Chain A
Amino acid sequence: MLWTYTKTASFYLLVAVIVFVSVFPFYYAILTSFKSGTALFEINYLPTHFTLDNYIAVLTTGVFVRNLGNSILVATSVVVLALFLAVTAAFALARVSFRGRGLLLMTILAVSMFPQIAVLAGLFELVRAFGLFNTPFALIFSYTIFTLPFTVWVLTTFMRDLPVEIEEAAIVDGASPWVIISKVFMPLMWPALVTTGLLAFIAAWNEFLFALTFTSSNQTRTVPVAIALLSGASQYEIPWGRIMAASVIVTVPLVVLVLIFQRKIVQGLTAGGVKG
């Protein structure tokens, strides 16, 4: 009896530790973002101060709002582009049997394994040659390298599981492959599209290396780079309050989205991973 109680208690203790460790850093960032002045340098575990100074400073001084706009523009365009290219490709890869299909899928998976740094030099040259340097288009263009293989891969797994009878019925009715995709499969694909789109959006929203390299002015930066480079008057005066406020601003929408779509996201992640 006692043993059972100890077992249950230690299990719930483990659960509590997992939840605490997962949530605490973000909680602490929120706590810090509401402090300013000397309060910032007192260590508190519970909320003691409340001021919006940091948020006001981040949103009114500097170009952070502009950076937010850049991030939204880049991430949205990347998602639309990737999904558009991936849906048709996934149909071909999932529903049509042709020679070399396995090899092709393997190549696509291999591209998603590319270390970004390996293409940095070549992309840098391309971006400059196309005259895209220091514009959002440089990022929309270059982010395709990690969003496209991923969306193709996940959508292929999803499409494979759609029942073959639906497609057969459509073929009997004389539907062309394009009609099958747009009229028959698309309505069934919405959940998958939302999931992959969301995952691609998060990837693009968080990307750092390309954003750091292909943009060079404050106005064209995306949010991660802006937060990484946010600094005070001197090197030793890091504006922690404002950094935390900016961090909270860019993270809250993501956390909310993730929590709303958590089931879908877990499915999407595992489709991209386990089935590989």
Chain B
Amino acid sequence: MASTQSTIRIVPTGHAKRARSELMRQRLRAAGWFLVPMLVALAIVAGWPLLRTIYFSFTNASLTNLYGAELIGFKNYLNWTVLKSGRVIWSGLLADPVWWNAVWNTVRFSVISVTLETILGTVVALVLNAEFKGRGIVRAAILIPWAIPTIVSARMWGWMLNDQFGIINDVLLMFGLIDHKIAWTASSDTAMIAVLIVDVWKTTPFMALLILAGLQMVPRDIYEAAAIDGVHPVKTFWRVTLPLVRPALMVAVIFRLLDAMRIFDLIYVLTPNSSQTKTISVLARENLIDFDKFAYGSAQSTMLFLIIALMTILYIWLGKVRFDGGDR
């Protein structure tokens, strides 16, 4: 990789030693000053708010009473009271079925959507990697779903999936695939399907582009060699292409997975108030802002953060990803 030569190595040798180390010190000092503004900005908008969210999750804060809040320990997470009769009543996040429903929805949504996007993205990437007339048009076309704001795609699809006047029902009826109009976004059986359709439509292009970048790094002569040896193209895909693009594929999958875990806007707009699609982010915001259970919402946000952090750490540990481009 080019990055191995991109930093100037100052090797102190002989008489030039003093001058060079002075130069090195100057560079290091400059680097420090260059980094400070960015680090301060990140500390203010990311570090501090995260710490405050975690702090709030251990208090009884409410929107109207942020500063008079008292620390109540883990009560937002798990708490119990023993009644006179000896019955124990559990409360808090971990005993809340609504929370577990949101966790289930988040996991279900993330796993299904990322799986579909990976498969479809690979198909699209393979198509784009082939040489044919009009490839530029296809690439331009698949960028359109990516460029459309999520809210706009939620609204567009909300209209297409409309039960009375939606074009999707019309097409499906025409081909006899359904026998009555379906209220895609409102019905509890189909709400998640509707969300998945829109998310897959919107995000597959991104997947496809990342996978395509991986495909293009595979040298062409490998395919030629396989073709000369008479290997069937399908076998070439499984035995040659896939193992070679796997690193790129894994990065794309993990990026998407972490992104899918925090989904908010699509669900908030497409299927508002549906318990079938309410994810952790939607639930947490509802508690934070709408229900005035600020501390409880903070606890839910903190849990989501922990889940995502754990996934990231696990991934880095398992995948042994190197982040500095390999020159340490």
Residues of A within 8 A of B (CB): 11-12, 14-15, 18-19, 21-23, 25-26, 28-29, 32, 40-41, 43, 45, 85-86, 88-89, 91-98, 101-102, 104-106, 108-111, 113-126, 128, 141-142, 144-145, 148-149, 152, 157, 159-162, 164, 167-168, 171, 176-178, 202, 205-206, 208-209, 212-213, 223-225, 227-228, 240, 243-244, 247, 250-251, 254-255, 257-259, 262, 265-266, 269-270, 273-276
* A43-B170, A98-B31, A102-B328 known; A258-B143 Cβ under 8 A: yes
Closest chain-A Cβ to B166's Cβ sits at a distance in Å of 8
Do B165 and A41 have beta carbons less than 8 Å apart?
Answer: yes
Tell me the nearest residue of chain A to B297, going by C-beta: A121
Closest chain-B Cβ to A87's Cβ sits at a distance in Å of 9
Closest chain-A Cβ to B197's Cβ sits at a distance in Å of 10
Chain B residues positioned under 8 Å from A121 (CB to CB): 49, 52-53, 56, 288, 294, 297-298, 301
Residue B209 interfacial (CB < 8 Å) = yes
Do A148 and B264 have beta carbons less than 8 Å apart?
Answer: no
Do A124 and B288 have beta carbons less than 8 Å apart?
Answer: yes
Residue B81 interfacial (CB < 8 Å) = no
**Chain B residues numbered 135-194 whose CB sits less than 8 Å from any CB in chain A:** 137-157, 159-160, 162, 164-165, 167, 170
Closest chain-A Cβ to B155's Cβ sits at a distance in Å of 5
26 A-B residue pairs with Cβ-Cβ distance under 8 Å, sorted by A, are A15-B132, A18-B127, A29-B156, A104-B35, A106-B323, A113-B312, A115-B281, A118-B302, A119-B45, A122-B53, A126-B48, A145-B42, A145-B46, A157-B325, A161-B2, A161-B3, A177-B34, A205-B149, A209-B285, A251-B148, A251-B152, A254-B147, A259-B143, A265-B143, A266-B209, A274-B251
Chain B residues positioned under 8 Å from A29 (CB to CB): 152, 156, 159
Residue B226 interfacial (CB < 8 Å) = no
The segment from B5-13, B84-92, B93-101 that touches chain A is: B5-13
Residue B107 interfacial (CB < 8 Å) = no
**Chain B residues numbered 241-284 whose CB sits less than 8 Å from any CB in chain A:** 248, 251-252, 255, 258, 261-262, 264-265, 268-269, 280-281, 284
Chain A residues positioned under 8 Å from B104 (CB to CB): none
Chain B residues positioned under 8 Å from A171 (CB to CB): 8, 23
Do A276 and B321 have beta carbons less than 8 Å apart?
Answer: yes
Q: Is the interface of B mostly helix, strand, loop or mixed?
A: helix
**Which among B28, B130, B312 is the interface contact of A96 at CB below 8 angstroms?**
B28
State the interface size on chain B (CB cutoff 8 A).
Answer: 108
* B 222-246 to A, binary, CB cutoff 8 A, 1 in contact else 0: 0000000000000000000000000
Do B159 and A32 have beta carbons less than 8 Å apart?
Answer: yes
Do B145 and A91 have beta carbons less than 8 Å apart?
Answer: no
Chain A residues positioned under 8 Å from B139 (CB to CB): 262, 266
Chain B residues positioned under 8 Å from A118 (CB to CB): 50, 53, 301-302, 304-305, 308
Residue B213 interfacial (CB < 8 Å) = yes
Residue B134 interfacial (CB < 8 Å) = yes
**Which among B2, B34, B49, B144 is the interface contact of A255 at CB below 8 angstroms?**
B144
Do B297 and A15 have beta carbons less than 8 Å apart?
Answer: no
Task: Report the 6 A-B pairs with minimum CB-CB distance, sorted nearest first.
Answer: A122-B49, A122-B52, A92-B31, A115-B262, A177-B30, A118-B305
Complex Cα distance, B170 from A113, in Å, reads 40
Closest chain-B Cβ to A153's Cβ sits at a distance in Å of 10
Chain A residues positioned under 8 Å from B8 (CB to CB): 95, 164, 167-168, 171
Residues of B within 8 A of A (CB): 2-3, 5-9, 23, 26-28, 30-32, 34-35, 37-39, 41-42, 44-46, 48-53, 56, 66, 123-124, 127, 130, 132, 134, 137-157, 159-160, 162, 164-165, 167, 170, 201, 205-206, 209-210, 213-214, 248, 251-252, 255, 258, 261-262, 264-265, 268-269, 280-281, 284-285, 288-289, 294, 297-298, 301-302, 304-305, 308-309, 312, 316, 321-325, 327-328
Chain A residues positioned under 8 Å from B255 (CB to CB): 273, 276
**Which among B41, B146, B147, B252 is the interface contact of A273 at CB below 8 angstroms?**
B252
Do A28 and B142 have beta carbons less than 8 Å apart?
Answer: no
Closest chain-A Cβ to B74's Cβ sits at a distance in Å of 17
Tell me the nearest residue of chain A to B312, going by C-beta: A113
Complex Cα distance, B184 from A31, in Å, reads 22
Do A119 and B46 have beta carbons less than 8 Å apart?
Answer: yes
Complex Cα distance, B262 from A239, in Å, reads 29
Chain A residues positioned under 8 Å from B123 (CB to CB): 14
Chain B residues positioned under 8 Å from A274 (CB to CB): 210, 213-214, 248, 251-252
Complex Cα distance, B210 from A240, in Å, reads 35
Tell me the nearest residue of chain B to A108, going by C-beta: B42
Complex Cα distance, B153 from A187, in Å, reads 37
Do B53 and A102 have beta carbons less than 8 Å apart?
Answer: no
Do B145 and A22 have beta carbons less than 8 Å apart?
Answer: yes
Closest chain-A Cβ to B43's Cβ sits at a distance in Å of 10
